């Protein structure tokens, strides 16, 4: 048995000892009574019950006062605006304490929720850490979501305040946030009391008396607030993620277990040491941003790069290499789609040669399946280990990865390697049996899950049980399907629900369908994820019109495309739809989305025996041809 096997076995056979040791790396106001509280098993497990701690203290004060005061905590690099900034641990602690002071003056106390709707600027991290400092529960909403999505989250989280900015910036356009936030408040009135706004040069927010506060003026005037001890089991944040319906799931993250797992992962999974420069090229609106732009690097005493730009076009496909060289990045984490975009613009990787990447040690990819071509291209051009790893919003840190800080294993293209210590991953069939190696099944994790994994959904214990625990009693259902090989390598092949993955972003086809169905001319609809060479998948809509509707199909398609952009946001990347006479269904009325997706992808498929009318599939194929599917 190798070192990894030993560590893995202990993490399963002696969970409590394993995680208690890891917890020793952090500071606690009060030690736990129990490492793992399983008194509400089989559904609810809590880590470090009885302990008190503060995540912000461990991420900032511990380092600011412990010899890292002058080290950069954040390097803000914004090719889209041409701005750069280095913020030391001391300075960041000061800003966060003042921001926490502003929240306190607004009456926000432990347990209150605060929504953060911000672009990739340092204030976003300051806002998150300020909430953590006083025990307020933050909920970050990705800037690419429109008013309706923001309103849904406001209604569910019931925040007392929103921390925001005057605008986001996308290539070629400035996105003023005020209309988006005001639109959301119109849809969810009477909940939010205060708004604190960072004014950016590119657009102004008109402050409304009594409700709005200017970020800079408020922070300058505020008294710094101290860290408030919270229970390890208290929520640090709620992050909404796509489920099968339009109502997103509020994934709850606690304080104690989250700190412990994230800190452990920095050395053991990513092989990064305190003081080194870590860069997750994602967005604070996603879990990758929460875990690996903000919390994990800071908990570990690293410098984190906060990048406001795109892999291509800001200004070119060499931006990533420029950032790595300028700041001495050792480890980059991004989504495969970013590399597909770079590869498309610079297939020979010529721009890479223009930069000094001597400090760069490893590339980690996650967020979607990493296709072997992209993996091979990155390995060939960068000449560093390229590590595909697999996890999700619900877990907050990797479930499967090559653990580079323990014992690197050979890479097998198409696999994120083996289960990470703490996760007892099994592939299960409908009869609850573990399937033989090499056979597909539902990828599940035997309970209890390790620290940081969601203890429940926000205000929705029953939905938590129904969504994740009910189908495979004793297991957590990841929602992914795949197989495990003889060496324990996991292959994540597809989702078993209606979630699709577009440019590394998780989207619900059900949510898009709800928007399409709201169009007055649409009687029935379906949305599938069709393969896309750049973004992995793209949503495609099928519309059946109400009887008697006699309008131009193209007009209706244009309208529904706009509707999705306005209601969900540009991030849905919904641009393709077609009007069909009927949808293919089983005799019991279930829409055959999987079969439609196979047709769109040009894959062989078996006509389902339960289909009510097989001739519909030819019609669907004709329609798809009309909008360019299958591609290539
Ligand atoms: N605010 C407002 N709009 C946003 C936004 C934000 N924060 N993020 C994206 N959008 C918009 C884009 O401008 C685009 O608008 P458009 O339809 O007018 O062109 C739309 O949402 C779709 O965005 P995206 O899917 O990201 O496509 P893109 O063409 O702008 O960029 C990539 C393609 C591959 C360069 C980009 O997706 C990327 O960098 N991906 C990296 C992966 C990543 O960060 N994943 C996160 C999880 S790790
Ligand atoms: P999110 O919660 O947005 O991070 O999305 C998580 C989902 O993305 C997972 O459940 C998978 O479907 C997919 N995913 C993430 N990482 C990988 C990976 N390395 N390989 C395959 N799929 C992945």
Cα separation, 536 vs 447, whole angstroms: 31
Please tell me the distance between residue 382's alpha carbon and the centre of ligand 1 in angstroms.
24
Please tell me the distance between residue 422's alpha carbon and the centre of ligand 2 in angstroms.
18
* 44 & 143 share domain: yes
CA dihedral defined by 494, 495, 498, 503, rounded to 10 degrees? -70
Please tell me the distance between residue 390's alpha carbon and the centre of ligand 2 in angstroms.
6
Question: What's the DSSP call for residue 248?
Answer: -
* 425 & 521 share domain: no
At 177-194, the pLDDT tens digits run: 999 999 999 999 999 999
Give yes or no for a cis peptide into 630 (omega within 30° of 0): yes
* 425 & 573 share domain: no
Ligand 1 atom nearest to CA at 367: 48
At 117-161, the pLDDT tens digits run: 999 999 999 999 999 999 999 999 999 999 999 999 999 999 999
Please tell me the distance between residue 401's alpha carbon and the centre of ligand 2 in angstroms.
12
Average pLDDT, the chain: 97
Q: Is residue 586 domain-resident?
A: yes
3-class DSSP state for residue 389? Answer: coil
Q: Taking residues 439-444, what's their average pLDDT?
A: 97
**Do 538 and 529 touch, CB atoms closer than 8 A?**
yes
**Neighbour-count burial for 250-261, b at 16+ CB within 10 Å, e otherwise:** bbbbbbbbbbbb
> So what's the pLDDT on residue 243?
82
Residue nearest to atom 7 of ligand 2 (CA): 392
> So what's the pLDDT on residue 132?
99
Residue 518: CB atoms within 10 A of its CB come to 13
Q: Is residue 593 domain-resident?
A: yes
pLDDT at 1 over 70: no
> So what's the pLDDT on residue 386?
98
Q: Which of 566, 520, 571 is nearest to 543 (CA)?
A: 520
Instruction: For residue 547, give the CATH number of its domain.
Output: 3.30.300.30
CA 160 to chain centre: 24
> So what's the pLDDT on residue 573?
97
CA dihedral defined by 7, 11, 14, 20, rounded to 10 degrees? 100
Best of 79, 119, 170, 534 for a ligand 1 pocket test (most atoms within 8 Å of beta carbon): 170
* 99 & 194 share domain: yes
* Ligand at shortest distance from the CA of 241: 2
* 96 & 156 share domain: yes
Q: Taking residues 461-470, what's their average pLDDT?
A: 98
Question: What's the DSSP call for residue 207?
Answer: P
Q: Is residue 330 domain-resident?
A: no
Q: Is residue 376 domain-resident?
A: no
Please tell me the distance between residue 215's alpha carbon and the centre of ligand 2 in angstroms.
35
pLDDT at 224 over 90: yes
Please tell me the distance between residue 361's alpha carbon and the centre of ligand 1 in angstroms.
27
Pocket of ligand 2 (CB under 6 A): 241, 287, 366-370, 388-390, 392-393, 416, 478-480, 492, 495, 501, 506
* 132 & 33 share domain: yes
Please tell me the distance between residue 103's alpha carbon and the centre of ligand 2 in angstroms.
34
pLDDT at 246 over 90: no
Q: Taking residues 384-395, what's their average pLDDT?
A: 98
Q: Is residue 345 domain-resident?
A: no
Of 12-21, 250-259, 351-360, 613-622, the poorest mean pLDDT is in 613-622
**Do 448 and 15 touch, CB atoms closer than 8 A?**
yes
* 468 & 560 share domain: no
Q: Taking residues 557-563, what's their average pLDDT?
A: 98
Instruction: For residue 7, give the CATH number of its domain.
Output: 3.40.50.12780
* 472 & 530 share domain: no
Please state whether beta strands 212-214 and 230-231 pair in parallel, antiparallel, or not at all (unpaired): unpaired
Cα separation, 85 vs 94, whole angstroms: 16
> So what's the pLDDT on residue 376?
97
Residue 559 phi/psi, 5° resolution? Answer: -65, -40
Q: Is residue 341 domain-resident?
A: no
Q: Is residue 209 domain-resident?
A: yes
Query: Any residues with CB less than 8 A from the CB of 390 and at least 6 apart, and which?
Result: 366, 398, 399, 400, 401, 416, 480, 490, 492
* Ligand at shortest distance from the CA of 317: 1
Give percent above pLDDT 90 in the chain: 96
If one counts the domains in the chain, the total is 2
> So what's the pLDDT on residue 304?
99
Best of 391, 442, 502 for a ligand 2 pocket test (most atoms within 8 Å of beta carbon): 391
**Do 28 and 53 touch, CB atoms closer than 8 A?**
yes
Q: Taking residues 62-89, what's their average pLDDT?
A: 98
At 485-529, the pLDDT tens digits run: 999 999 999 999 889 999 999 999 999 999 999 999 999 999 999
At 26-51, the pLDDT tens digits run: 999 999 999 999 999 999 999 999 99
In terms of Cβ atoms closer than 10 Å to its own Cβ (0-12, 13-18, 19+), residue 496 is middle
pLDDT at 307 over 80: yes
3-class SS string, 397-438: CCCECCCCCCCCCCCCCCCCCCECCCCCEEEECCCCCECCCC
**Domain extent for 557:** 503-626
At 391-429, the pLDDT tens digits run: 999 999 999 999 999 999 999 999 999 999 999 999 999
3-class DSSP state for residue 593? Answer: helix
- SS percent in the chain: helix, strand, coil, step 5: 35, 25, 40
Residue 179: CB atoms within 10 A of its CB come to 10
* 402 & 470 share domain: yes
Question: Which runs of consecutive H residues, i.e. helices, occur in 306-408?
Answer: 319-327, 336-345, 372-382
* 528 & 463 share domain: no
> So what's the pLDDT on residue 632?
76
Question: Which runs of consecutive H residues, i.e. helices, occur in 45-121?
Answer: 55-56, 62-64, 89-105
> So what's the pLDDT on residue 498?
86
Q: Which of 127, 137, 400 is nearest to 252 (CA)?
A: 137
**Do 55 and 451 touch, CB atoms closer than 8 A?**
no
Ligand 1 atom nearest to CA at 120: 7
Q: Which of 236, 250, 68 is nearest to 149 (CA)?
A: 250
Residue 567: CB atoms within 10 A of its CB come to 20
Residue 78 phi/psi, 5° resolution? Answer: -125, 85
Residue 622: CB atoms within 10 A of its CB come to 11
* 478 & 510 share domain: no
Ligand 2 atom nearest to CA at 390: 19
Please tell me the distance between residue 571's alpha carbon and the centre of ligand 1 in angstroms.
6
* 424 & 510 share domain: no
* Ligand at shortest distance from the CA of 497: 2
Q: Which of 211, 207, 176 is nearest to 190 (CA)?
A: 211
Q: Is residue 253 domain-resident?
A: yes
Q: At what angle do helices 3-13 and 15-23 cross, to 10 degrees?
A: 110
Ligand 2 atom nearest to CA at 400: 19
Ligand 1 atom nearest to CA at 171: 13
Cα-based distances in Å from 574 to 210, 292, 516, 552, 602: 38, 28, 11, 20, 20
């Amino acid at each position: 048995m190798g070192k990894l096997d030993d560590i893995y076995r202990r993490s399963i056979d002696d969970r409590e000892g394993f995680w208690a040791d890891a917890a020793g790396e952090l500071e606690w106001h009060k030690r736990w009574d129990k490492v793992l509280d399983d008194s509400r098993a089989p559904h609810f497990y809590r880590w470090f019950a009885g302990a008190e701690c503060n995540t912000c203290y461990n991420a900032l004060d511990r380092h600011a006062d412990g010899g890292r005061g002058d080290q950069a905590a954040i390097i803000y690099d914004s090719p889209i605006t041409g701005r750069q900034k280095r913020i030391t641990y001391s300075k960041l602690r000061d800003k966060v304490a003042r921001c926490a002071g502003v929240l306190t003056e607004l009456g926000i106390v432990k347990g209150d929720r605060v929504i953060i709707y911000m672009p990739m600027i340092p204030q976003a991290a300051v806002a998150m850490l300020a909430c953590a400092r006083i025990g307020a529960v933050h909920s970050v909403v990705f800037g690419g979501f429109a008013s309706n999505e923001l309103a849904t989250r406001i209604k569910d989280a019931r925040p007392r305040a929103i921390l925001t900015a005057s605008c986001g910036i996308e290539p070629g356009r400035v996105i003023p946030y005020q209309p988006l936030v005001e639109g959301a408040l119109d849809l969810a009135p009477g909940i939010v009391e205060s708004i604190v706004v960072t004014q950016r040069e590119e657009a102004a927010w008109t402050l409304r008396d009594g409700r709005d506060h200017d970020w800079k003026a408020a922070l300058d005037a505020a008294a710094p607030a101290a860290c408030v001890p919270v229970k390890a089991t208290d929520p640090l944040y709620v992050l909404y993620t796509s489920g099968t319906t339009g109502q997103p799931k509020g994934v709850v993250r606690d304080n104690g277990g989250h700190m412990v797992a994230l800190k452990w992962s920095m050395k053991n999974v990513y092989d990064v040491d305190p003081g080194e420069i870590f860069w997750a090229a994602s967005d604070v609106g996603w879990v990758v941003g929460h875990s690996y732009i903000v919390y994990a690097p800071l908990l570990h005493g690293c410098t984190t790069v906060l990048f406001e730009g795109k892999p291509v076009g800001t200004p070119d496909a060499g931006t990533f290499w420029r950032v790595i060289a300028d700041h001495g990045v050792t480890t980059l984490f991004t989504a495969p789609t970013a590399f597909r975009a770079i590869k498309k613009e610079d297939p020979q990787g010529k721009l890479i040669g223009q930069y000094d990447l001597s400090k760069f040690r490893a590339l980690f990819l996650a967020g979607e399946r990493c296709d072997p071509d992209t993996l091979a291209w990155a390995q060939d051009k960068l000449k560093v280990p390229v590590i595909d790893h697999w996890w999700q919003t619900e877990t907050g840190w990797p479930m499967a990865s090559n653990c580079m800080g323990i014992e690197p294993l050979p890479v097998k293209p198409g696999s994120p390697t083996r289960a990470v210590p703490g996760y007892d991953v099994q592939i299960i069939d409908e009869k609850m049996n573990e399937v033989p190696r090499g056979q597909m099944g539902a990828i599940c994790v035997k309970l209890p899950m390790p620290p940081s994994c969601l203890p429940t959904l926000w205000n929705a214990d029953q939905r938590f049980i129904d969504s994740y625990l009910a189908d495979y009693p004793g297991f957590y259902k990841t929602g992914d399907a795949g197989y495990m090989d003889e060496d324990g390598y996991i292959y994540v092949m597809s989702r078993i629900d209606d979630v699709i993955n577009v440019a590394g972003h998780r989207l619900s086809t059900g949510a898009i369908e709800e928007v399409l169905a709201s169009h007055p001319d649409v009687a029935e609809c379906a949305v599938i994820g069709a393969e896309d060479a750049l973004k992995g998948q793209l949503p495609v809509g099928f519309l059946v019109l109400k009887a008697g509707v006699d309008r131009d199909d193209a007009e209706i398609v244009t309208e529904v495309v706009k509707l999705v952009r306005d209601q969900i946001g540009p991030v849905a990347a919904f641009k393709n739809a077609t009007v069909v006479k009927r949808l293919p269904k089983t005799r019991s009325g279930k829409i055959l989305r999987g079969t439609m997706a196979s047709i769109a992808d040009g894959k062989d498929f078996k006509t389902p025996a339960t289909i009510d009318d097989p001739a519909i599939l030819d019609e669907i194929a004709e329609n798809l041809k009309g909008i360019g599917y299958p591609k290539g």
